[in-house]
Amino acid sequence: MGTAIQQLFDLSGRVALVTGGSRGLGLQIAEALGEAGAKVMLTSRKAADLEEAVAELSQRGIDARWIAADAANPDEARRVCRETLERLGPVDILVNNAGAAWAAPAEDHPLDGWDKVMNLNVRSVFVFSQTIARLSMIPRRQGRIINLASIAGIAGNAPWQETIAYNTSKGAVVNFTRTLAAEWGEHGINVNAIAPGFFPSRMTASTLDRVGEEAMAARAPLRRLGDDDDLKGAAVLLASQAGKHITGQILVVDGGVSCVIG
């Protein structure tokens, strides 16, 4: 007989660190991990947003804490990792969610905008992963790393998008995930990515205002955008024993947008 399904998805006693966890998709994932039993550390730049997020999670009975830091700064990222271990113990689950976007035509895209996106969306993913692996996962020979990619890193631009830095960064996250999974499997570390489609958020607000939510939803075979629950199951699967034989995979959660030609 195998393990009971409830036990496979149970995260009781686990510690999760979620970057960009104060709102949007990061907060949704933190909520899911916490509801499954994990202790959750949130980090983002703004203390006020973090306080509000932790209060919201606490009302749901989740053990949540926060650390304000700029994930794009390697020293700050390493500080977050060390402080999380000091306050909560070894980290079992790392969710690299912090990200930024910059819209501009490729021929006019500013270099500082390119660097801002790359430093947060790619370099911080490397720094957090390397630091947590060194301090917690490799010595214990276990761990789950979940990176937030995007369908923009798989399929390029829609005609009305001008986000070459963002799309390039998410393409990098896709191959980073596959490469790291191949290298760190021997340490018992599973590395996967979730690639969301369009979810209403601060990052997508301007696009949704310009194109319209109904028009965006109509592009998906399921005729809907993502909502506040649509990443929860994917996150818990990849973080738990239920996903122990899954690594190096990109789980697309987009209502079917990426399977449509043209």
pLDDT for 106 equals 93
Whole-model pTM: value is: 0.95
The Cα angle at residue 178 between residues 237 and 154, in degrees rounded to 5: 90
pLDDT for 64 equals 98
Q: In what order do the strands lie in the sheet with 143-148?
A: 64-68, 39-44, 15-19, 93-96, 143-148, 189-196, 250-253
Using one digit for the tens of pLDDT, what is the confidence trace for 91-138?
A: 999 999 999 999 899 999 999 999 999 999 999 999 999 999 999 999
Could you tell me if 63 and 37 are in contact, meaning their C-beta atoms sit under 8 angstroms apart?
Answer: no
Residues with active-site annotation? 166
Using one digit for the tens of pLDDT, what is the confidence trace for 74-94?
A: 999 999 999 999 999 999 999
Collapsing DSSP to helix, strand or coil, 104 comes out as strand
CATH architecture of 75-255: 3-Layer(aba) Sandwich (3.40)
Between CA 153 and CA 161 the distance in angstroms is 13
Q: Which among 30, 103, 24, 81 is positioned nearest to 60, based on CA atoms?
A: 30
Could you tell me if 128 and 20 are in contact, meaning their C-beta atoms sit under 8 angstroms apart?
Answer: no
Question: For the chain, what percentages of helix, strand and coil (3-state, to nearest 5) are there?
Answer: 50, 15, 35
Using one digit for the tens of pLDDT, what is the confidence trace for 151-210?
A: 989 986 666 678 999 999 999 999 999 999 999 999 999 999 999 987 876 666 566 666
Using one digit for the tens of pLDDT, what is the confidence trace for 2-46?
A: 999 999 999 999 999 999 999 999 999 999 999 999 999 999 999
pLDDT for 211 equals 63
Q: Which among 52, 5, 12 is positioned nearest to 33, based on CA atoms?
A: 12
